[in-house]
Homo-oligomer: A and B are copies of this chain.
Amino acid sequence: MDGVLADVYEQFFRLDEKTTGTRKTVASVVGILEHDAFQNGLQHVLSDGFFRTAPVMKDSQAILQQLNKHYEVFIVSSATEFPKSLAEKQAWLGEYFPFISWKQMVFCGSKTIIQADIMIDDHFKNLDYFNGETILFTQPHNQLADAGRHTRVNTWEEISKILL
């Protein structure tokens, strides 16, 4: 969800600009995990509304809606580390992805327990443990890394070309 459907970097850029008065460049955060790339990063994550008001990743709504017609889609989100995020994330999905039912939502800590055919994620720590086809969604923190056995995509358009 974060870094694939929810544009959490954009959320960080906006909150960081509010605090510091200047907007960071993408180049300045490349290769750094979100929490570390922004001043008070963890405080932003813990603040009310961080997940509820996150911008939606470009093209994700229309393409996921198509995928949802052809695949059995589950949204699996790391959420239990920040307990307040659970309700915010479910409400956010309800607003922007209303075609995803409660049966298709999974809020967890570790994703090693997930079994499926294809995983789209921005973190190696999730993809590396997954047995099926793995698609690495480019985000600043993984941009410099070798994708290894995973298929790297930079946009939802690219996901559409692979899966639809």
Q: A: which residues have CB within 8 A of B?
A: 74, 76, 79-81, 83-84, 86-87, 90-91, 101-110, 113-116
Contacts and interface: CB of A to CB of B under 8 A. Distances in A.
- Integer count of this chain's copies in the complex: 2
12 contacts: A76-B113, A80-B102, A80-B103, A80-B107, A84-B87, A86-B86, A103-B109, A105-B109, A106-B106, A106-B109, A108-B108, A114-B115
A86 B90 contact: yes
Given A80-B102, A83-B102, 10 more contacts: A80-B90, A80-B107, A83-B91, A86-B86, A103-B110, A104-B110, A106-B113, A107-B108, A113-B114, A114-B114
A106 B99 CA distance: 22
Contacts of A105: 80, 108-109
A110 B106 CA distance: 8
Nearest to A83: B90
Contacts of A101: 109
Nearest to A76: B113
Nearest to A103: B109
